[in-house]
Amino acid sequence: MQLPVILNSIESNGRYTEIETKNISSGGVFIESSDIDLSEGSRVQVELTLTIDKLEELFHMSNKVLLKVDGSVVRSTDKGIAVKFSNSYSIKPL
């Protein structure tokens, strides 16, 4: 699943925008980009904006939410990075 993503480096205060996920699961995400200069073990925060059709109908909220998830880089290649999610996250309606 491809989703727009903002990647924040917790340690170096780096910020990467205009990038997309290549695939995502409940345990982590692969972000495809040759522009990300983070090594394995780097702590990051991943910001994903999800469209949820039923959100407005069920909860009278916006039809989008912002999901922020902390994680660590577990693989770094010239094609992108793989991030393993931690249990720290927040979800906010937009």
78 φ/ψ angles, rounded to the nearest 5 degrees = -70, -10
Structure tokens at 84: 């393993």
| pLDDT, greater one: 78 or 27 | 78
The CATH-assigned architecture of domain 4-93 is Beta Barrel (2.40)
**For the chain, which residues make up each domain, given as ranges?**
4-93
Average pLDDT, the chain: 83
Single out the residue of 40, 38, 43, 2 nearest to residue 20, CA to CA: 2
* Angle, vertex CA 6, rays to CA 12 and CA 20, nearest 5: 125
Chain Cα centroid distance, residue 25:
11
pLDDT band at 17 (very low <50, low <70, confident <90, very high): confident
Flag whether pLDDT at 63 surpasses 70: no
